[in-house]
Structure 1
Amino acid sequence: MTYSIWLEPSAKDKKYLQNIIYDLAKQYKAPQFTPHITLYSGINNARLTRKAVHDCRHITKMKVRVTGIRHSGYIWKTLYFDVGTSKKLAELNRILAKRLGNHAKYRFRPHISLIYKKLPNATRRQIAKEITLKNTLEFAKISIIKSSNVVRNWTPIMKISLK
């Protein structure tokens, strides 16, 4: 097992994203999951992960800009909202990288996954056309997830609310 650090949306935007994720999961028999932006992943040390999140406790809630909807053949980016990098997102990544740099290899490319399932290109394109895009979303929590390649086994172990 490894650990991931997520940025999670505020209640209103969580509901919007969760509805999309649940609808797609039901329609395509895919796993359901909590909406998030992965800030860091592949961490093997739980104690260090907690310290890294603690280092971020001064960060305030943030709005992120959704720049488009994209898709790929890569399972972890089957269909996703592309997110523009902001000063706050960059600061979060810098804080985490400072603490975790040698303990995990993770390249930060902010996005919000909507489904994890191998789907044909034509299907992904069609789904992307049908989804209503919000221009901005608010994020209000940082969480630590015990993660694996099996989505249903993902387990939250700690959450902090942003100010």
Structure 2
Amino acid sequence: MKNLYTLWMIPPPEIKKVLEDVIRKLGDKYKGPYFEPHMTLLGNIPCSKEDAVEKTKILCKDTKPFEISLGEISFSTTYFQSVFVRIKCSASLMESNLKAKEVFKLENDLFMPHMSLIYGDHQMKLRENIASEVKLPANLSFKVKKLVVTPCTNDPKDWIHLAEINLAFGS
């Protein structure tokens, strides 16, 4: 049976905790849902759960761990990108997205690497204000060592880890 799946990159515990605290505080203050900090490598993948896991294993076998760095805080017009921290582009990150599209035979449009900090249908001025109040430690970065397969739904409560697959030589 075909459903939709998503491939995530999850920060390690120390960075995850920093982001979880921000997500929780913003969610409480501005009435947004809680969700696990993550960067979506590829979303809206139509396939069976088994295919999602098997193809992610193929992708991970050809992808070495790499560093990603968090950048500036920004905001957008969509619910799931209300306020977010940009991920600085690198060749490794962009190549991983291209490989994922190839493995899953998808032609997704734009890849804008980011980690959301709050979801919601907030007014643009409020999004701008929220973005300006968020303060993260300088130079946050981490090594991506695995990909996580999750269901792609509109409810963060459904976003469970169906599989966690190490990248090549990752541990």
Distance 1:159 1:64, change over 3 A: same
Partner of 2:4: 2
Alignment partner of 1:149 out of 140, 154, 165: 154
**Moved >4 Å (runs of 4+):** none
Partner of 2:18: 16
Which amino acid is 1:122 matched to? K
CA deviation profile, 1:115-146 (whole Å, cap 9, x unmatched) = 11111222212221221133332134310001
Range with greater deviation from structure 2 (16-25 or 64-73)? 64-73
Note the C-alpha offset of 1:58: 5.2
Partner of 2:71: 67
Note the C-alpha offset of 1:22: 1.1
Instruction: Please tell me the root mean square deviation across aligned C-alpha atoms, in Å.
Output: 1.9
Q: How do 1:50-129 and structure 2 match up within 5 A?
A: 50-55=53-58, 56-57=60-61, 59-102=63-106, 105=108, 107-129=110-132
Note the C-alpha offset of 1:12: 1.1
Range with greater deviation from structure 2 (133-142 or 87-96)? 133-142
Partner of 1:135: 139
Note the C-alpha offset of 1:7: 0.7
For 2:5 and 2:118, locate their aligned partners in 1 and report how far apart those are by CA, in whole Å. Answer: 20
Instruction: List alignment gaps of at least 5 residues for structure 1.
Output: none
Identical-residue share of aligned pairs (%): 26
Superposition TM-score, scaled by structure 2 size: 0.84
CA deviation profile, 1:58-93 (whole Å, cap 9, x unmatched) = 544432222311112211110011112112212321
Distance 1:53 1:37, change over 3 A: same
Q: Is the 8 A contact 1:61 1:140 kept in 2?
A: yes
Alignment: residue pair count: 162
Q: Is the 8 A contact 1:6 1:143 kept in 2?
A: yes
Q: Is the 8 A contact 2:101 2:108 kept in 1?
A: no
Superposition TM-score, scaled by structure 1 size: 0.88
For 1:113 and 1:59, locate their aligned partners in 2 and report how far apart those are by CA, in whole Å. Answer: 24
3-state SS of the aligned residue for 1:119? coil
For 2:166 and 2:25, locate their aligned partners in 1 and report how far apart those are by CA, in whole Å. Answer: 27
